[in-house]
Amino acid sequence: MNTATTTLTLNEGYFAKRNLFDWLFAALVTLGGLYAYANYHAFMDVYEKGILLLAIPSVVALGWFWRPLRALMLVVAAFSLLGIYSYQGQLARAESVFWLKYFLSSQSAILWMSVLFFMSTVFYWIGMFSRAQGATMELLGSRLTWVAVAMALIGTMVRWYESYLLGPDIGHIPVSNLYEVFVLFCWMTALFYLYFEQQYGTRGMGAFVMLVVSAAVGFLLWYTVVREAHEIQPLVPALKSWWMKLHVPANFVGYGTFALAAMVAFAYLIKSQAQQEAQQKVRWYRLAPLWIFGIVLCFVPLAFRQSSAAAGGSYWLVYFIIAALIVGGILLGRRRIAERLPAPEVLDDVMYKSIAVGFAFFTIATVLGALWAAEAWGGYWSWDPKETWALIVWLNYAAWLHMRLMKGLRGTVASWWALAGLGVTTFAFIGVNMFLSGLHSYGAL
């Protein structure tokens, strides 16, 4: 008689998986949140109190979900508090205190962010073409990206405090104009990329993704110099709403992940075409779509030059030249680049997950925007240019995901579609402000 022995293995519980540092992190976040509530609840309305209290478990959950976030959040909190404490309630100290002047004031931190993002992009690309030290250069690029994200967040937190130093009626969360949301776009896109970098164990995508971040930084620097956009301005009446604290960040999760997906799609096309060339399945002139895309991409800066010929036109000419050299170098060096990129299946999966996450948050942002519009203007929808283009963006990615899930859309077609989506998203993000006007014209160029 045979006796069968069945061993039942239970999965370890969610909380049982937590280590000491996890619980320490949770305790610090909870204490920090409760301290903020105890000291500043008098300045908050009921919605802001709710947001703060819900943020405590949300931040803990994020830190437990992706552990590198714990270190990032603790570093940002520590240096932000140092910067805030150093002001001692006097904005003029930004010019007299060493670490405020050169590192921790909002403008200094954001300038450091800009330099570090440029440097990380350079190191990623050096790693792409370097055979001997490629992995080391890419690792350095990744580390610099982490530091750049930290500086962006420190700058954002300190800027928030600086706005209140200007006056209680001026203080606001820094997501109210093009300057502030470009900072938001930069660190959010980079942070999502760093997550995928760790999850898939490859840094080969970094060179492409950081290009779009560096392009945003280039715009940010021009906007700072020409428009003096770094100066904190009082909110217009329509923006004095707690809806802004929810709508704008959710919107830029969408913008950031859509941009990330497009650059990964570009990398997919480069790898796919290079592989086909190596197998002699396609000749150089069959790459015409990629060359055309490169030419179109290069001429995008000229639109800014024409729209601002009286201010910064030469800057955009230099920008155009650099863009042309980058795109030309990528297309000419496609075979070497393809060797460093991860497998097409990985690129395709990252593209899909980025669009899926972005679409979810963009949908939430659109609903929140409609509720905000009802409160501010008395109607949920007014066919304002920004609203119309937001709907076009939503429909584009809804169709992409439908084709992916229902029809198995993959590969080259999906990649070209994601690249086209970047064009649509860019126009909704910036083009509407450049060429159209409406209720959302808070950051005109």
| Burial profile 213-237: b = 16 or more Cβ within 10 angstroms, e = fewer | bbbbbbbbbbbbeebebbebeebee
pLDDT of residue 365: 94
Q: What is the mean pLDDT of the chain?
A: 86
Rounded mean pLDDT of 216-232? 86
Q: What pLDDT digit, counting tens, does each position of 399-418 carry?
A: 999 999 999 989 899 999 99
Return the number of other C-beta atoms located less than 10 Å from residue 311's C-beta. Answer: 12
Per domain, the residue ranges of the chain are: 20-37+50-235+246-435
pTM: 0.90
Rounded mean pLDDT of 158-166? 92
Report the alpha-carbon distance of residue 419 to residue 398 in Å, rounded. Answer: 15
DSSP H helices in 333-384: 334-340, 344-377
Q: Is the pLDDT of residue 297 over 70?
A: no
pLDDT of residue 304: 54
Q: Lowest mean pLDDT of 68-82, 96-110, 274-288, name the range.
A: 274-288
The letter for the amino acid at 389 is W
Report the alpha-carbon distance of residue 161 to residue 91 in Å, rounded. Answer: 10
Q: Is the pLDDT of residue 34 over 90?
A: yes
